[in-house]
């Protein structure tokens, strides 16, 4: 009897020493997953159980969200299927977090039984694990080695282990939280730097091609890719809108269908993907066609909608494969890049719309000019001739001769007017004389036609500024002065007009001033060609101001920046 007591004492002493060692090891471990696994293994060892498990409760503490078990091999795990969620006897410890010892777990009134393939289990010991006074989970041990039941010393050992586990879990969770926060801070910093970088790179650029070129080059450098593509959507497919790096010219003709598994996921589900070496090809076979092995595919998201994708292909020679950090960096970059692309596309669309609207207003103006001047003039000639021809009076011949002479005079006027309209459509003077000469000729023609003094001061010299107006810019400047002079002739009743055009700091400054009747700006804003002037100038990034008052004449001042050529 005495020998048996000494043997039990030695076992308890060894178990106590093992508990101290286990506790020391647990408290030195800062990885939460390693702590949970070590606790389950220690529970099995310290209690002499064949099987042990640690169940982690969900946030509501109603069921198990994780179940770490030891003692069951992988094949058996697969055969069992889904892991326990905390029903039956396991649920007893969730509802009542207190130690539970059973001779036969199957005999418990709340026992659910075991699924097919589950090893037989009878004896049972369960203890709760608390972290900061709240139940974190439970330790479960079954099948006492030797066929006996778990006793009080097993329960005490399990409770001690649970106490160690609670402290170790809390330490590991704190460390994990700090590490995650540090990683999140570093990631946020890199993402912020990336966003600032793309913002600085693109800046105020609104030309779509230029924006795409800047994006594709910067994105390639960001992840050190051998090649990088920007794919944009067109109808039911994606096309290569920009490329950088080692990629053949054939790529510009590539089309990727939207039902491709990889690119469809990016466009429809807004999912980024990292394709590693050996991963199966998608329908488009983009990597294979470009001789690439790995790729990053990231959607360009603007206001919740994918407008395209970034595709990074392989590392530069000698580099490692793309990792999750590369994917996160490219995602952060793509957020700012998508905004830049969408903004440039919107500006381009607005420019096109303004061009269409401006052209439509020009056509309407020409239609009015033809109707009010040329057509009405021709109609008057027809009436005059018809009246003379229909006359039966004695002086019929004299009337016809007089009508013919009047017709010749009016036809001369109409030819002059039609020539003016034709010149409006395509200013021939620009081709012959250049901008400065054409403006001077325009002022002289207005003076001769309307019997008004026009003083012109034209100082446009490309050599002086180094910036020569494009053909589009020349036309917009010419038409502005032409429209202003036409309005003066038709409405102002002016005796003196001043026209000036000069280059100032990379722009042409135009001022047309008259001493005529003037008008109320507010009531005349939509008329007198002012809207057409404003639309044309703003389309080229310029500015226009009109000042006038009844009886005080009118001044039109405009600035057209050079180098803003529209294509």
For residue 52, give the DSSP letter.
Answer: E
CA dist 16 and 18 (Å) reads: 5
Q: Helix 376-390 and helix 396-425: axis angle, to 10°? A: 170
pLDDT band at 425; cut points 50, 70, 90: low
The predicted model gives 262-273 an average pLDDT of: 87
18: which residues sit within 8 A by CB, 6+ positions away?
A: 45, 46
Evaluate whether 177 touches 183 at the Cβ level (below 8 Å): no
- In order of 24, 38, 47, 169, 177, the CA distances from 31 in angstroms are 14, 11, 24, 9, 11
Residue 29: its pLDDT value, please? Answer: 74
Quickly count: other Cβ atoms within 10 Å of residue 210's Cβ. Answer: 12
DSSP state of 182: H
Residue pair 415/407 in contact (Cβ under 8 Å)? The answer is no
Contact (CB, 8 A) for 381 and 411: yes
For the whole model, what pTM was predicted? 0.40
Query: Would you say 219 and 337 are in contact if contact means Cβ atoms under 8 Å apart?
Result: yes
pLDDT of residue 463: 43
534's CB contacts (< 8 A; 6+ apart) are 544
| Rounded CA separation 140/155 (Å) | 11
**308 beta partners:** 232, 300
What is the structure's pLDDT at 465? 47
Please choose, from the candidates 313, 302, 311, the residue with its C-alpha nearest in 3D space to the C-alpha of residue 277: 313
Query: Is there a contact between 73 and 157 (Cβ–Cβ < 8 Å)?
Result: no
Please answer whether residues 38 and 45 qualify as being in contact, where contact means their C-beta atoms are separated by less than 8 angstroms: no
CATH superfamily assigned to domain 201-352:
GAF domain (3.30.450.40)
Burial of 121 (0-12, 13-18, 19+ CB in 10 A): middle
CA 301 to chain CA centroid, Å, is 4
Averaged pLDDT, 259-275: 87
Strands 255-257, 496-503: pairing is unpaired
C-beta separation of 454 from 497 below 8 A: yes
Residue 61 is classified by DSSP as S
3-state secondary structure of 519: coil
Residue that has been written with the tokens 């097993």 in this structure: 154
pLDDT at 567: 38
Relative to beta strand 49-57, strand 237-245 is unpaired
Q: Tokens 């005349």 correspond to what residue?
A: 524
Give the residue from 153, 170, 174, 145 showing the smallest Cα distance to 45.
145
Structure tokens at 118: 């589950």
Helix axes 471-487, 428-450, angle to 10 degrees: 10
Distance of alpha carbon 501 from alpha carbon 557, whole angstroms = 10
Closest CA to 71 of 54, 92, 93, 49: 49
Q: Tell me which residue of 198, 224, 222, 221 sits closest to 211, measured CA to CA.
A: 198
Distance CA 266, CA 430 (A): 51
Query: 390: which residues sit within 8 A by CB, 6+ positions away?
Result: none
Percent of the chain with pLDDT over 70: 80
User: What's the mean pLDDT when you consider all of the chain?
Assistant: 80
Could you tell me what percent of the chain has a pLDDT over 90? 13
- The whole-number pLDDT of residue 514 equals 94
Highest-confidence range of 250-254, 294-298, 372-376, by mean pLDDT? Answer: 294-298
Structure confidence by residue, pLDDT tens digits, 107-162 = 888 888 888 888 989 999 999 988 877 888 889 999 998 888 998 988 988 888 88
Among residues 196, 233, 211, the alpha carbon closest in space to that of 347 is found at 211
Region(s) of the chain under CATH 3.30.450.40: 2-177, 201-352
Q: CA 368, CA 382: separation in Å to the nearest integer?
A: 20
Pair 309, 298: CB distance under 8 Å: yes
Indicate whether 537 pLDDT > 70. yes
Q: Which residues contact 339 (CB under 8 A, 6 or more apart)?
A: 302
Alpha helix segments (H runs only) across 203-285: 208-223, 261-268
CA nearest to 460, candidates 450, 442, 447, 474: 474
User: What fold does the segment set 429-567 form as a domain?
Assistant: Heat Shock Protein 90 (3.30.565)
- From the options 3.10.180.10, 3.30.450.40, 2.30.40.10, 3.40.50.2030, give the CATH code of 2-177: 3.30.450.40
- For 59-73, the DSSP string reads TTSSSEEEEEEESS-
Cite the residue boundaries of each domain of the chain with CATH code 3.30.565.10. Answer: 429-567
Q: What confidence tier does 565 reach under pLDDT thresholds 50, 70, 90? A: very low
What's the pLDDT at 564? 57
């Amino acid at each position: 009897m005495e020998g048996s007591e000494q043997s039990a004492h030695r076992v308890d002493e060894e178990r106590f020493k093992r508990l101290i060692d286990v506790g020391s090891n647990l408290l030195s471990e800062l990885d939460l997953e390693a702590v949970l696994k070590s606790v389950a293994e220690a529970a099995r060892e310290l209690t002499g159980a064949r099987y042990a498990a640690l169940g982690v409760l969900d946030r509501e503490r109603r069921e198990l969200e994780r179940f770490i078990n030891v003692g069951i091999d992988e094949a058996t795990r697969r055969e069992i299927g889904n892991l326990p969620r905390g029903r039956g006897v396991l649920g007893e410890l969730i509802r009542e977090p207190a130690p539970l010892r059973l001779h036969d777990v199957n005999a418990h009134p709340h026992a659910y039984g075991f699924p097919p393939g589950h090893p037989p289990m009878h004896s049972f010991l369960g203890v709760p694990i608390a972290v900061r006074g709240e139940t974190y989970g439970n330790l479960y041990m079954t099948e006492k080695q030797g066929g006996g039941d778990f006793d009080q010393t097993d329960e005490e050992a399990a409770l001690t282990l649970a106490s160690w586990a609670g402290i170790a879990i809390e330490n590991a969770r704190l460390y994990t939280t700090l590490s995650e926060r540090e990683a999140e801070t570093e990631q946020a910093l890199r993402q912020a730097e990336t966003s600032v970088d793309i913002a600085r790179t693109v800046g105020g650029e609104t030309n779509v091609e230029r924006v795409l070129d800047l994006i594709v080059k910067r994105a390639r450098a960001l992840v050190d890719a051998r090649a990088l593509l920007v794919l944009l959507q067109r109808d039911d497919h994606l096309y290569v809108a920009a490329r950088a790096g080692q990629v053949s010219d054939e790529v510009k003709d590539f089309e990727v269908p939207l039902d491709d598994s990889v690119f469809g996921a990016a466009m429809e589900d807004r999912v980024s993907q990292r394709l590693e070496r050996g991963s199966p090809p998608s329908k488009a076979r983009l990597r294979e066609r470009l001789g690439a092995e790995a790729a990053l595919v990231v959607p360009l998201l603007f206001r919740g909608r994918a407008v395209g994708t970034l595709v990074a292909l392989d590392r530069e020679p000698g580099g490692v494969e793309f990792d999750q950090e590369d994917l996160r960096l490219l995602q952060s970059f793509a957020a700012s890049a998508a905004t830049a692309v969408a903004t440039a596309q919107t500006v381009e669309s607005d420019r096109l719309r303004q061009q269409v609207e401006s052209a439509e207003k020009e056509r309407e103006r020409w239609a009015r000019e033809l109707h009010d001047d040329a057509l009405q003039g021709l109609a008057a000639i027809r009436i005059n001739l018809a009246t003379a021809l229909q006359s039966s009076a004695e002086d019929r011949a004299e009337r016809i001769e007089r009508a013919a002479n009047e017709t010749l005079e009016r036809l001369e006027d109409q030819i002059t007017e039609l020539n003016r309209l034709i010149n409006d459509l395509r200013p021939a003077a620009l081709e012959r004389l250049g901008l400065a000469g054409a403006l001077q000729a325009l002022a002289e023609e207005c003076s001769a036609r309307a019997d008004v003094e026009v003083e012109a001061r034209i100082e446009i010299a490309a050599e002086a500024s180094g910036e020569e107006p494009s053909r589009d810019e020349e036309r917009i400047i010419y038409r502005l002065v032409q429209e202003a002079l036409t309005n003066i002739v038709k409405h102002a009743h002016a005796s003196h007009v001043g026209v000036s055009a000069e280059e100032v700091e990379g722009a042409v400054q135009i001022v047309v001033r008259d001493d005529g009747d003037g008008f109320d700006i507010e009531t005349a804003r939509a008329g007198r060609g002012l809207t057409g002037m404003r639309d044309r100038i703003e389309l080229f990034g310029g500015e226009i101001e009109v000042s006038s008052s009844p009886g005080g004449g009118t001044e039109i001042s405009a600035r057209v920046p050079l180098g803003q050529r529209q294509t």
